[in-house]
Copies of this chain bind each other. A is one copy, B any other.
Amino acid sequence: MGQEQTRSKSIKIRGDERVEFHNQVDYCIGTGRMGLALQQEYQEQLRLVQELIGFKHIRGHGLFCDDMAIYQEYTVEGKVHAEYNFTYLDRVMDSYRSMGLAPFLELGFMPQKMARGEQTIFYWKGNTTPPKSYEAWKHMIQTLLRHLMERYGADEVVTWPIEVWNEPNLNGFWENADMLEYFTLFKESFVAIKEVDSRFKVGGPAVCGGSDKPWIQGFMEFCEEQKIPVDFVTRHHYTTDFPKYEGHYGYADLMDPEEGFSNLHSTREIVDSFPQYNGLPIHITEFNTSYIPNCPLHDTNQNAAYIAHQLSRLGDDNESYSYWTFGDVFEEQGVPFTPFHGGFGLVANGCIPKPTFWTFAFFKKLKELEGYCVYRDDNTVIMRMETGEYRGVAWNRTCKRLDDTITLNYECKTETNELCLLTKRVDESTCNPLKVWHDLGEPANLTKAQIAVLQDVAQPFVQTNSIFSKDSLACFRINLPENAVVYFELKPVHRNADRGYDYNRIMQS
């Protein structure tokens, strides 16, 4: 590292400010293909995520891929009949629901036997061609939804959002990126679903960046023209340049986040330009920094700090934003060889939370109690809770390493003489399992002892401090080395004196 610099910032809070901040951190999370949800390691990672963060929805690919075995055919007297196998679907849905999750259903990809073509995507060979018969497609969707409603209750299932396909604006995901064919798929699906129950919410076109503008524009025009009362619009959001590949990995530079926000805002503007769709919810059904599953960046503290900033802003234009993905049980480019390999997950294989995991956990803690935002800038967001305490997150995001530490000096109004400041710190020296794995020699196959060490070092460093207010102001500072993310709570302390343990006496002995 070069020479270290420190910048300092002063933040004053009266406590009655009302600052805009739409915290949808826990609305939805991404996942590897649905068939992987049968795996035990997947379930364990998801359980960890749900215990410490707790999302409401989960979205991924592969509902109709062959490993889920849903669409089957059998022949009687020379005639082919469809039949549906929900054995695995139920197992997956049962497990989601046991962890408090509901799916954000993505309709795709195509069962081999129903597919018009042979094009597949990924190591796991999802077929990405249109159906031979839209009737068959519709029948499958309707049968599936009716099955889910019978099993989980209609009132419950109609609250599960439904998105049609994934990134049809890429050749790989949709043969020829054929926009008109996608619109057909969308309309047929939309109609089929609403026939089952008009309460379902259905959206698209699930595009990634690049050609997002023409696709969003085209999609809205199509809906308008066809008088489709689409319920929401979906798109994706990744924030790195093209990766440079070297060996098994791709290395990518982070973009200026404002570029991304501006691109997202363009979607908002296109949608709002259609009077009947003005204000329609936009769901970012995937976001992350890099869009490849072997980008070491994902495993770093830098990723955690960059995402903290994203979480502070993405709610401005969007109804939700779903991080891609919760864990590293993931096979798009094959089965990972090593626990750290630049996967998308919040959790590395071996149930090791990565730094970005804690970014989500910290933003979730801002929602645990009722409260309102009193301050937001590019390094911190602060809430005042109904209990009178303050909760906040602070971060020092970098795109390039500058050896630049930031000190935030907070002055918060309080009616209490004594307070306790609790901080949970995730930075490169306190919570950096990637470094530890590197120091251990980058073992491909972790022993139990190595897993235990990695889980230990993947915890935030927690501290408390006594704060005594002066002139009704509680003052404290938080140091943020580069890529640090810190959660804090500032709580009134009411000391119960009579059993008083003389702490100072002990400390001076």
- Interface residues of A, Cβ cutoff 8 Å to B: 38-41, 43, 69, 72, 74, 83, 85-88, 90-91, 95, 147, 151, 246-249, 251, 253, 296-297, 299-300, 302, 334-338, 340-342, 349, 400-401, 418, 420, 422, 428-430, 434-436, 438-445, 447, 453, 456-457, 459-466, 493-496, 498-503, 505-509
* A439/B456 in contact, CB under 8 A: no
A5 → B minimal CB distance (Å): 17
* B441/A251 in contact, CB under 8 A: no
Taken together as a complex, chains A and B put the C-alpha atoms of A505 and B157 apart, in Å, by: 39
Chain B contacts for A253, CB-based, 8 A: 509
For A439, give its contact among B95, B438, B441, B464 (CB under 8 Å). Answer: B464
* A337/B499 in contact, CB under 8 A: yes
For A441, give its contact among B340, B420, B502, B506 (CB under 8 Å). Answer: B420
* B444/A86 in contact, CB under 8 A: yes
Which B-chain residue is minimally distant from A447 (CB atoms)? B151
A370 → B minimal CB distance (Å): 14
Q: Given A40-B38, A91-B41, A296-B506, is A337 in contact with B441 using a C-beta cutoff of 8 Å?
A: no
* A459/B457 in contact, CB under 8 A: no
Which B-chain residue is minimally distant from A466 (CB atoms)? B439
* A443/B496 in contact, CB under 8 A: yes
Which B-chain residue is minimally distant from A452 (CB atoms)? B462
A41, A447, A465, most chain B CB atoms within 10 A: A41
For A440, give its contact among B69, B442, B493 (CB under 8 Å). Answer: B493
* B249/A502 in contact, CB under 8 A: yes
Closest 10 CB pairs of A and B: A69-B335, A441-B493, A439-B464, A40-B40, A438-B503, A456-B462, A436-B464, A38-B39, A296-B506, A420-B439
Chain B contacts for A453, CB-based, 8 A: 422, 462, 464
Chain B contacts for A435, CB-based, 8 A: 464, 503, 507
Q: Given A401-B508, A443-B496, A493-B441, is A334 in contact with B248 using a C-beta cutoff of 8 Å?
A: no
* B38/A246 in contact, CB under 8 A: no
Taken together as a complex, chains A and B put the C-alpha atoms of A360 and B253 apart, in Å, by: 47
For A342, give its contact among B445, B461, B501 (CB under 8 Å). Answer: B501
Chain B contacts for A438, CB-based, 8 A: 466, 501, 503
Chain B contacts for A74, CB-based, 8 A: 248
* A340/B40 in contact, CB under 8 A: no
Which B-chain residue is minimally distant from A74 (CB atoms)? B248
A6 → B minimal CB distance (Å): 20
* A72/B457 in contact, CB under 8 A: no
For A249, give its contact among B38, B86, B338, B501 (CB under 8 Å). Answer: B501
* A502/B334 in contact, CB under 8 A: no
A95, A430, A444, A509, most chain B CB atoms within 10 A: A509
* A337/B87 in contact, CB under 8 A: yes
Chain B contacts for A456, CB-based, 8 A: 459-460, 462
* A501/B38 in contact, CB under 8 A: no
